[in-house]
Structure 1
Amino acid sequence: MLLMGSDRSWLIIFMVFSSLLSLISGGSDSHDPEALDALFHYYANQTLAKHRTGTLYKIPLPSNFSGMEVSVIRLRSGSLWARGSNSSFIKIPPRVRAFPHVKRLAIVYENLGEWSSKYYQIPGYTLVSPVVGFNVYDFSNATTLSDRKVTLSTTSDPISIHFPYIEAEDKNVTELKCVKFGAGGSVEFKNMTARNVCVTGKAGHFSVVIPSMPEKKVRIWKWWVIGFVSATVGLVLLISVAAIIFILLRRLKMKAMEKASDNAENLDTFWVRGDKMPSASMIRTQPVLEHDYVP
């Protein structure tokens, strides 16, 4: 059953506020990409109602979505064919057709930034760039943005995706893969055509990924770290114990020397040409002849 225009508007509003509530409450549906697209669609409609055709406008988002960058532009199909459309990250070349054909259309450009891995994940791979993308909607009404998506078809140059940064400067470039996230959780891999650039022929969401480190290697790496830390702590403890023992033995030796000095007999002193010399104060043993006979 087809929904009328007002029914669709209510459906979009319901999805928007459902996504907002789920984000605030931290529910399991808080990272639903379709709910996020519905949210962007809603705010794009609000933005286009206040601006004119042919200019790219930044869409203001709620503070809950700080870090995301979303913009929208309204175009005539003829203008898209003649000049294409560019945003900060996505370059749509001229000679691009819209299917089904519409008189006017709107393009919503997205950069999810630090939120990327919360909405898009691939088992066995790690995102090394933000997820950027775009959706094209029918705007034939000229007053309300339709929720019907439009497909683009390139006849010459492909659409290029320029990623703002890639967090894999120390990785092998051949391991980097472009990935397109499609409807229903589908994923499509491609090789990169240039540094930080991927190409596509359709709308969607895109990122750069690299194979994740196998779990076995991760465990070995963790054990190496644990072993190194344990050895370092053990060495520090051993040195500390040795230092304490050395100090204690030295103190015991000093005490023994002091005790021996206290028990010994004190000697008098006298000066000889500026030098202080010890001198016995008395003769303890009197000289005795071995024989009483005197010749």
Structure 2
Amino acid sequence: MFSFPSFSTILILFLTKIPSFPSQPTPFSSRLLDSTLQDHAFQSFPHHRSKTGTIYTGNVPVNLTGITISALRLRSGSLRKRGYNGYKEFNIPKGIVENPYVKRVILVYHNLGNWSQVYYPLPGFLYLTPVVGLLGYNADNMTAKGLPELDLRAPEDPIVIKFETLKVLGNGYSPVCVFFDLFGGVVFDHVLNGSVCSCVTQGHVGIVVESSPAPVPAPAPEHVPEYPIAGGDGGGGRGGRNRGWWVGGSVAGGVLLAALVVVLVLWVRWCRGTKRIEKMTVAADHGVPLAVAAVGRAEVPVAMSTRTKPILENNVPLAVCTYNVYICGRSRDKSEMMSSENNSSFALKSILEKDKLNNTNFLEWHRNLRIVLKMAKRLYVLETPIPTALENNTVVAKKAFDKHKEDAMEVACLM
């Protein structure tokens, strides 16, 4: 059995608060390090009126002392048109494309310092520079934690990384650039101008040299990252290929749709023309057949020249009017006709001279004749027949009879 003093001691040990220390990320969890640095980099922005295009330096946890971080917020359109030069070691060219598209992007800078070999170990190589990184995030939520990275690409000019100092090298050593992507891949490249590296996407970069004759280890196989990248199923290359297939399929579908529309329009026009021809054929079959005459070796339809003779409103045939004109011409000599023409009261007779009567314009000619006669006050000649005998043998009646007869003669000559 426990005595009271021993029981009290055990109880005090359980109730005493044991101080806790922040856990340190494992050396192989570079993706967890990226998430932790993103959280602290976002905290570097002021709560009010943070400026676009200004570099803000952040603070790292105590257990990561030696690592420096910075944050830079830019508009996506400005980054694409102008780029950004002088962001620490990075010179960002114009034409940067992010996937998915966001209005504003935050570029988080890492300088791992003496932690480079811990989080990005390379057996058989020695780091001549610290590992530096550049990652892009969506800037819509400035207080978010654990955000997935955007897929940043430089399709035109590469991103240039200029290191200021390198460790002293012995003779026979050739430095090379090493690039770590977000999926565990490692790529080696030549060093430009002694201390310049380049890349076309976001990630971490450093300069290394072989420390022993051991062969360069093969790049690690691609694996699923601990924290998925925004923009879909893996790297930006597959996303770009998927986007290319989508664009190609859209163009092909548009061309096919346009071709179908053209074929449909041509088919509709052909159907309308066929129906119109069928209607004309039916109308020709049900119409009055024409006589056929031989012209040389061919037989052509011939229309009859017979037509209905026009009748004036006072029931006087056109032949009578023509006869009166003939009589008028015979009863007057040339001088008399010229005098009558010059002194005629038919002021609008030029209308009849312009459109003379033929086999097709009787209605229009008759309308013009009535206008001329109405203007000359002779329209009653057409509407009232000449009396055959005087009703009463008065002087007034005889004058009216003579005037009607004379006006009728002038109208007949005018016609």
For the superposition of Structure 1 and Structure 2, which TM-score range results when normalised by the shorter chain? 0.5 to 0.7
Could you say which residue in structure 2 is the equivalent of 1:204? 203
Inter-partner Cα distance in structure 2 for 1:108 and 1:140: 15
Could you say which residue in structure 1 is the equivalent of 2:156? 156
Shift of 1:197: 0.5
Could you say which residue in structure 2 is the equivalent of 1:78? 77
Confirm whether residue 45 of structure 1 aligns to residue 47 of structure 2.
Answer: no
Instruction: Confirm or deny: 8 A CA contact 2:178 2:207 kept in the other structure.
Output: yes
Instruction: Confirm or deny: 8 A CA contact 1:54 1:75 kept in the other structure.
Output: yes
Equivalent pairs counted in the alignment come to 192
Deviates more, 1:108-117 or 1:163-172: 163-172
2:60 alignment partner, SS class = coil
Change (3 A) 1:172 1:100: farther
Change (3 A) 1:115 1:171: farther
* Matched ranges for 1:21-170 at <5 A: 21-22=23-24, 29-30=26-27, 32-48=29-45, 50=47, 51-85=50-84, 86-141=86-141, 144=144, 147-170=147-170
1:148 alignment partner, SS class = coil
Change (3 A) 1:131 1:103: same
Structure whose CA Rg is larger: 2
Shift of 1:36: 1.2
Inter-partner Cα distance in structure 2 for 1:164 and 1:203: 20
Inter-partner Cα distance in structure 2 for 1:70 and 1:171: 34
Shift of 1:163: 1.8
**1:66 corresponds to which letter in structure 2?**
T
Instruction: Confirm or deny: 8 A CA contact 2:128 2:207 kept in the other structure.
Output: yes
Q: Deviations over 1:85-114 (max 9, x none)?
A: 231211101222222211111000111112
Inter-partner Cα distance in structure 2 for 1:67 and 1:164: 18
Q: Deviations over 1:97-133 (max 9, x none)?
A: 2222111110001111122111111122222211011
**What are structure 1's unaligned runs of at least 5 residues?**
1-18, 24-28, 216-295
Change (3 A) 1:38 1:20: farther
Change (3 A) 1:145 1:38: closer
Identity fraction in percent: 34
Shift of 1:205: 0.5
Instruction: Confirm or deny: 8 A CA contact 2:42 2:142 kept in the other structure.
Output: no
Shift of 1:142: 5.5
Instruction: Confirm or deny: 8 A CA contact 2:82 2:94 kept in the other structure.
Output: yes
Q: Deviations over 1:37-58 (max 9, x none)?
A: 1111111222235333221110
**1:187 corresponds to which letter in structure 2?**
V
Could you say which residue in structure 1 is the equivalent of 2:335? none
TM-score of the superposed pair, with normalisation by structure 1: 0.59
Shift of 1:143: 5.5
1:74 alignment partner, SS class = strand
* Matched ranges for 1:188-267 at <5 A: 188-214=187-213
Inter-partner Cα distance in structure 1 for 2:116 and 2:168: 16
Change (3 A) 1:68 1:171: farther
Shift of 1:184: 3.8
**Greater relative contact order: 1 or 2 (C-alpha under 8 angstroms, separation 6 or more)?**
1
Inter-partner Cα distance in structure 2 for 1:93 and 1:182: 19
2:114 alignment partner, SS class = helix
Q: Deviations over 1:124-150 (max 9, x none)?
A: 222221101111111234664671211
Inter-partner Cα distance in structure 2 for 1:20 and 1:47: 20
**1:150 corresponds to which letter in structure 2?**
L
Inter-partner Cα distance in structure 2 for 1:209 and 1:37: 22
TM-score of the superposed pair, with normalisation by structure 2: 0.43
Instruction: Confirm or deny: 8 A CA contact 1:108 1:135 kept in the other structure.
Output: yes
Instruction: Confirm or deny: 8 A CA contact 2:24 2:63 kept in the other structure.
Output: no
Instruction: Confirm or deny: 8 A CA contact 1:110 1:134 kept in the other structure.
Output: yes
Instruction: Confirm or deny: 8 A CA contact 1:137 1:146 kept in the other structure.
Output: no
Shift of 1:156: 2.9
Change (3 A) 1:40 1:140: same
**1:200 corresponds to which letter in structure 2?**
C
Shift of 1:30: 4.5
Instruction: Confirm or deny: 8 A CA contact 1:104 1:142 kept in the other structure.
Output: no
Change (3 A) 1:72 1:41: same
Change (3 A) 1:172 1:92: farther
Instruction: Confirm or deny: 8 A CA contact 1:137 1:145 kept in the other structure.
Output: no
Indicate the structure with greater strand content.
1
2:188 alignment partner, SS class = strand
**1:45 corresponds to which letter in structure 2?**
F
1:183 alignment partner, SS class = coil
